[in-house]
Amino acid sequence: MHVNGKPAGVEVKAYDASSAMIEVANRKLLADPSAMKVSFGILRNEDLCLVEGPFDGALSNFAGMNCCGDWPAIAKDLARLIKPGGHVLLCIMGRACLWEMLYFVLRGEPGKAFRRASRNHVARIGSNSVDLQYLSIKEARQAFSPGFTLCGWGGVGVFVPPSYCEPFFETHNQLLRLLAVFDSWLGHMPGVRCFGDHVLLDFVRCAG
């Protein structure tokens, strides 16, 4: 980032609920001396009340918000932390992933194919379970009002397949690159963007 032609410092505070993830992040940071100033901490989204601001913006990636039950409470904490005009970007799993539906229908697993049709879902990871929420765009907008306005959103992975399709596309690199082009061209279009593996929501902090 530059201000008036001069480099401006950027300070990032990054949090994750997993201590193992924070350890990995710290190792990567130490291995890159050119990295910007970043500090890591163990924190759940539900505990943002413990963080002191203000911040210019915030990002939640890898569908972390889908694991949270009380979106309005998190939105309220973010409204306290983010400066007016600041952006909050949420990359979440949407309600309908075309690739997921096709993949699991062809495998004869309709329950997995249409699992996102239910607002609430329990994901099994080994012996553990995680409660997931698949909110619609309307529900997400309502959860973040009145502190934020949804100024735009688009699909992520509308044409690019999810990671579980990698075995096939490892030998079809040209097709994968073509699908990536389609994603960048068409992934934000109405009627198409809702079918991405994820959707990216861009909220702006309201004044006052």
**Mind giving me the DSSP string for 17-45?**
S-HHHHHHHHHHHHT-TT--EEEEEE--G
pLDDT tens digits, residue range 126-172?
A: 788 888 999 999 999 999 999 999 999 999 999 999 988 888 888 89
* Same domain as 52, residue 38: no
* Same domain as 114, residue 53: yes
Predicted local confidence at residue 52, as pLDDT: 93
Task: Note whether 168 and 104 are within 8 A (CB).
Answer: no
* Same domain as 180, residue 102: yes
Predicted local confidence at residue 168, as pLDDT: 84
pLDDT, tens digit only, all 208 positions of the chain: 444 544 457 889 999 999 999 999 999 988 887 777 889 999 999 999 999 989 999 999 989 999 999 999 999 999 999 999 999 999 999 999 999 999 999 999 999 999 998 888 888 877 888 889 999 999 999 999 999 999 999 999 999 999 888 888 888 999 999 999 999 999 999 999 999 999 999 999 999 6
* Same domain as 79, residue 15: no
* Same domain as 123, residue 20: no
Task: Note whether 163 and 63 are within 8 A (CB).
Answer: no
* Same domain as 100, residue 24: no
* Same domain as 79, residue 166: yes
The CATH code of the domain that includes 100 is 3.40.50.150
Calpha distance 141→45 (Å, rounded): 18
List the domain range (segments joined by +) for residue 6: 1-43
Sign of the CA dihedral running 141, 111, 187, 194? negative
* Same domain as 32, residue 61: no
* Same domain as 94, residue 22: no
- Count CA within 13 A, CB hemisphere, residue 205: 21
Predicted local confidence at residue 2, as pLDDT: 41
* Same domain as 107, residue 177: yes
Task: Specify the number of domains making up the chain.
Answer: 2
* Same domain as 51, residue 62: yes
pTM above 0.95, yes or no: no
Predicted local confidence at residue 3, as pLDDT: 45
* Same domain as 140, residue 37: no
Predicted local confidence at residue 8, as pLDDT: 58
